[in-house]
Copies of this chain bind each other. A is one copy, B any other.
Amino acid sequence: MNLYETLAADIEGQVARGVLLEGDKLPSVRQTSQHRGLSISTVLRAYSLLESKGIIESRPQSGYFVRTRQSSMPRPAPLAASAPLELSSEVDVSRLVLSTLRTIRAHGAVPLGSPYPDPAPFPWPRINQYANAIARRSQHWSVMDDLPPGNPQLMRQIARRHLENGLPVDPSEIIITVGATEAINLCLQAAAKPGDTVAVESPTFYAMLHAIERMGMRALEIPTDPREGISIEALRSILSQQRIAACMVMPNFQNPLGFQMPDARKRELVELLASYDIPAIENDVYHELYYGDSHPTSLKTYDTKGLVLHCSSFSKSLTANYRIGWALPGRYTAQVEKLKFLNTLTTPTLPQMAIADYLQNDGYDRHLRKVRKGYEQRARMMAAAVLRFFPAGTRVSEPQGGYVLWVELPQGVDAMKLYALALERKITIGPGHMFSARGSYTNYIRLNYSYPWSKEIEDALRMLGRLAGQLA
């Protein structure tokens, strides 16, 4: 390889790894020449090669810039509207998910398959300090103190946070739960009956499928646009033909697609469902992890009839270990409160108080700003690395928030096979099989990019790409 080819490959690698981002200015020809100890003409040949490959572009009077990738980064194709829409499915996905999560937690494996964010930058030591202080000062604090709906301090803090984020809520509508898992379960149980059909996005976050499975309901997967969310047109057509008991969606940074539903479509969805008097269960656990300028709206923002049951938690934004979530169940509040009491009696008091103290006194926003910035950067780095290492025909999502990338492998690559091969090499991934009750997405995987970029992660992605290539 010539000197100029070596330099070009090096810069291409930096772009692929996301060290250089779209629109970034490259060092000038003169600077590069000095830093690398290369002649001006060698640097010029390298830049020119990169330009011809569409990786950088020269702008008059300005220098060289990394090209915006609109053209070079393929987008996932919208899901076909020809899917067998009228057939709902029994749901039995939890065994697969549980066994997958069990291996994903295996020690020393590269955690690309983890559903949780890297805990390292999270302020759990501070929250533990608050918990310790409460445990020391509280005399005879009792399980009876926080009967449903929950700890009043925490309920106030949650209401305050919703207000800051643009959603005024009545604190008395809040019901504290054991993680968002319990919130989603209780909301669905309040809104629909065993045997009922529930409309979901496709791919579907498996937590939603679990809730449907737990109650012996049926899932109907609705075509979903990877940038705009559930197809309102498809849903409208379904509703004109058959009875749907509820609709479950993640309008913000859906797991696994990562989209943020545009405000107009959120409103349209709420209005369409309301016109049929159908409750919408909204899973908004990633709401704090937006990459945009401001906090996204939620379906609840547009709810005038109390038909949106909003579910969230602190597990993805503060600490997963405390298992604290909440529901805003609208007109189903009394029912959800009763079901909470029946399901687990109370949510433990100490974690509720510790989180309330943290929210009141500590740097939640500072923590979140730091986390969001890192995630946004790594989303691009991981997408670039996947497109670089994986076989031709691989496509990736464009997350607007959260920390997971959805990867479509070439047709015929079995994600479970890739999962097994990767595991032998101590690399974990989330196979697409977990995201459908109908056995779709067998050639998709979900990758977690919340961990700091490292040689280990890059090597893992290279290995995954090679394995996928062998399976293709």
Once the chains are docked, how many angstroms separate the CA of A342 from the CA of B208? 10
Q: Using a CB-CB cutoff of 8 Å, which residues 340-387 of chain A contact chain B?
A: 341-351
Q: A2-10, A71-79, A175-183, A452-460: which one contacts chain B? A: A175-183
Q: Are B144 and A181 in contact (CB under 8 A)?
A: no
Once the chains are docked, how many angstroms separate the CA of A141 from the CA of B104? 15
Once the chains are docked, how many angstroms separate the CA of A423 from the CA of B44? 88
Minimum CB–CB distance for A90 against chain B, Å: 14
Q: A351 contacts which chain B residues (CB < 8 A)? A: 348
Q: Are A98 and B178 in contact (CB under 8 A)?
A: no
Once the chains are docked, how many angstroms separate the CA of A179 from the CA of B141? 17
Once the chains are docked, how many angstroms separate the CA of A346 from the CA of B179? 9
Q: Are B135 and A102 in contact (CB under 8 A)?
A: no
For the A-B complex with A119-B140, A323-B345 known, give 18 more contacts whose Cβ atoms are closer than 8 Å: A94-B342, A98-B341, A101-B144, A105-B144, A105-B147, A114-B144, A116-B144, A128-B132, A131-B131, A131-B135, A132-B135, A178-B178, A181-B344, A182-B344, A185-B343, A214-B342, A323-B346, A323-B348
Q: Which of A105, A132, A342, A351 neighbours the largest number of chain B CB atoms within 10 Å of its CB?
A: A342
A447 adjacent to chain B (CB < 8 Å): no
Q: Using a CB-CB cutoff of 8 Å, which residues 93-121 of chain A contact chain B?
A: 94-95, 97-98, 101-102, 104-105, 114, 116, 119-120
Q: Are B147 and A102 in contact (CB under 8 A)?
A: yes
Across the two chains, which residue of chain B brings its CB closest to A145? B105
Minimum CB–CB distance for A81 against chain B, Å: 31
Q: A59 contacts which chain B residues (CB < 8 A)? A: none
Q: A182 contacts which chain B residues (CB < 8 A)? A: 343-344
> A341: which of B94, B147, B178, B350 is its contact (CB, 8 Å)?
B94
Q: A345 contacts which chain B residues (CB < 8 A)? A: 179, 181, 323
Minimum CB–CB distance for A143 against chain B, Å: 4
Q: A349 contacts which chain B residues (CB < 8 A)? A: 321
Q: Are A322 and B348 in contact (CB under 8 A)?
A: yes
Once the chains are docked, how many angstroms separate the CA of A347 from the CA of B144? 19
Once the chains are docked, how many angstroms separate the CA of A119 from the CA of B210? 37
Q: Are B181 and A343 in contact (CB under 8 A)?
A: yes
Q: A339 contacts which chain B residues (CB < 8 A)? A: 214
Given A135-B132, A147-B101, A323–B344 Cβ distance below 8 Å? yes
Given A116-B144, A142-B320, A178-B178, A342–B211 Cβ distance below 8 Å? yes
Q: A98 contacts which chain B residues (CB < 8 A)? A: 147-148, 338, 341
A414 adjacent to chain B (CB < 8 Å): no
